Amino acid sequence: MKTKTGLLIALVLSTCVAMAQQATTAVPVKTPKAVMDQFMDKRFGMFIHFGPVTQRGTEIGWSRNDQVPEEEYDNLYHEFNPTLFNADEWVKAAKDAGMKYLTITAKHHDGFLLWPSAFSDYNVSKSPFKRDIVGELAKACKKEGITFCIYCTVLDWHDKDYPIDNPHHPEINARKGDMAAFKTRMKNELKEVITKYHPFMLWFDGYWETPWTTADGQEIYNYIKSVDVNVITNNRLGKVTDKLSGDAVGDFLTPEQTIGKLNMAEPWESCITICNQWAWKPNDQMKSLKQCIQTLVTTASGNGNLLFNVGPAMDGHIEARQVARLKEMGSWLKQNGEAIYGTKGGPYLPTAEYGATRKGNKVYINVFERKDSTLNIPLIPNAQVLKSYFLNGNTVAIKSDSKGYKIELPATLPDENCSVIVLELDVDATEIPVIKS
């Protein structure tokens, strides 16, 4: 009797499980909100563009078949030997900058893989360097508590199954390809990196070429979710980048080389380079410390994350001047990180003079520039300012009239790059609707 009842229970249970599985395949699975919140609380990450192309010092995303002929480009890996590559040093540079996550170009449009894959021979294990760059970085990140993420584009000009060979010369774009076979290989590669390296997030790119459709993107998104439901993706799996509706597929918006607008409804991350080029370029122009800090703060003030890019040199080291600049950002964050990590943007729209962030009952007014002896900002409706002070401790006098607050600024601001003024309120600052400056 006992076993019969047991069998019956098992039968009912397995039917329920099957029904639940059917239900989940019908409705596309989304990333849990708690995971997205974890991601957005990090605010600052390191983007790394690296690969055999660094030997030419040209751009990874568009120099193949342009500045570097295809034949030459596709053979660069035979000499790829970045002997100074040290994952611990890259991760330390990110950590010293105050970054909380790191995203490596495991596969860019040129199709070369920085990990030893079972699914494509065009990978780092076939170069003289041989070592697993993705694996070593994943390990170093884990050791240092930096969240590890992977960039992998949906383009692949090297793969014979991908229908486009050369976007610069449409007349020779006759390659027929086989998108079904291509997507199968893409899935295998994705499953390989997810199960081997456990990325928190996958950063897709290259949706714009004609062979790729939004349906392909949705298929890949669903596949990723079937491997690990908690893996986040950016919105570049579908055809539209600026909205998470319509033709976009994924979890967050991705303004490129520009700071996103304040958006309290949809998560976003701006990717911006520390110099001009994504991949290493000799003597590339580097942003000033002021530009770097204000880029980060304006991004956080718009409620977004900043994925700040470095391109390590051909021998594998990150230029000393870039490491130093990142460290300077880290020093600023050590003193002012309270106004960045785990905050929300707003309630004020960022301006050239200041941007605001908020957490609990505090609004942080991040002042970029002293234009006058007072900083004038609009009133926060239905709230009292209980206290006002610089994050470094000095009190700040604040007056208000019907037009707004007048914050008295000292003759010189305490920090020439960005000084944080805290306003303590009698209400929860995160509930305040956006105020037009």
By the criterion CB under 6 A, which residues form the site for ligand H79? 60-62, 205, 256, 271, 278
Please count the helices (runs of H) and the strands (runs of E) in the chain.
9, 15
Tell the smallest beta-carbon distance from residue 271 to ligand H79 (Å): 5
Q: How far apart are CA 407 and CA 397, in angstroms?
A: 6
Q: Which residue is nearest to ligand H79 (CB)?
A: 61
Q: Which is nearer to ligand H79, 157 or 354 (CB)?
A: 157
Q: Which is nearer to ligand H79, 125 or 257 (CB)?
A: 257
Tell the smallest beta-carbon distance from residue 208 to ligand H79 (Å): 7
Looking from the CA of 226 toward its CB, the CA atoms found within 13 Å total 17
Q: Which two tokens stand for residue 271?
A: 């990717």
Q: How far apart are CA 396 and CA 274, in angstroms?
A: 33
Tell the smallest beta-carbon distance from residue 380 to ligand H79 (Å): 37
112, with CB counted inside 10 A (0-12, 13-18, 19+), is buried
Tell the smallest beta-carbon distance from residue 351 to ligand H79 (Å): 27
Q: Which is nearer to ligand H79, 189 or 205 (CB)?
A: 205
| Amino acid symbol at 244 | L
CB 152 within 8 A of CB 189: yes
Q: How many CB atoms lie within 10 A of CB 189?
A: 21
Q: Is the dihedral of CA 121, 127, 131, 135 positive or negative?
A: negative
Tell the smallest beta-carbon distance from residue 108 to ligand H79 (Å): 6
Q: Which is nearer to ligand H79, 49 or 95 (CB)?
A: 49
**Preceding omega of 347 cis (within 30 degrees of 0):** yes
CB 216 within 8 A of CB 186: no
Q: How far apart are CA 160 and CA 166, in angstroms?
A: 12
Q: Which is nearer to ligand H79, 257 or 392 (CB)?
A: 257
- Give 101's strand partners: 45, 147
Q: Which is nearer to ligand H79, 81 or 103 (CB)?
A: 103
Query: Pairing between strand 404-408 and 201-203?
Result: unpaired
DSSP 272-335: EESSS-SS--TTPPPPPHHHHHHHHHHHHHTT-EEEEEE---TTSPPPHHHHHHHHHHHHHHHH
Tell the smallest beta-carbon distance from residue 151 to ligand H79 (Å): 7
Q: Is the dihedral of CA 381, 382, 387, 390 positive or negative?
A: negative
List, in order, residues 6 or more apart from 223 with CB less than 8 Å away. Answer: 187, 190
Q: Which is nearer to ligand H79, 159 or 205 (CB)?
A: 205
Q: Which is nearer to ligand H79, 92 or 158 (CB)?
A: 158
Tell the smallest beta-carbon distance from residue 330 to ligand H79 (Å): 23
Tell the smallest beta-carbon distance from residue 60 to ligand H79 (Å): 6
Looking from the CA of 30 toward its CB, the CA atoms found within 13 Å total 11
Tell the smallest beta-carbon distance from residue 278 to ligand H79 (Å): 4
What is the 8-class DSSP label of residue 378? P
Q: How many CB atoms lie within 10 A of CB 71?
A: 8
Q: Which is nearer to ligand H79, 267 or 347 (CB)?
A: 267
Q: Which is nearer to ligand H79, 62 or 341 (CB)?
A: 62
Tell the smallest beta-carbon distance from residue 109 to ligand H79 (Å): 6
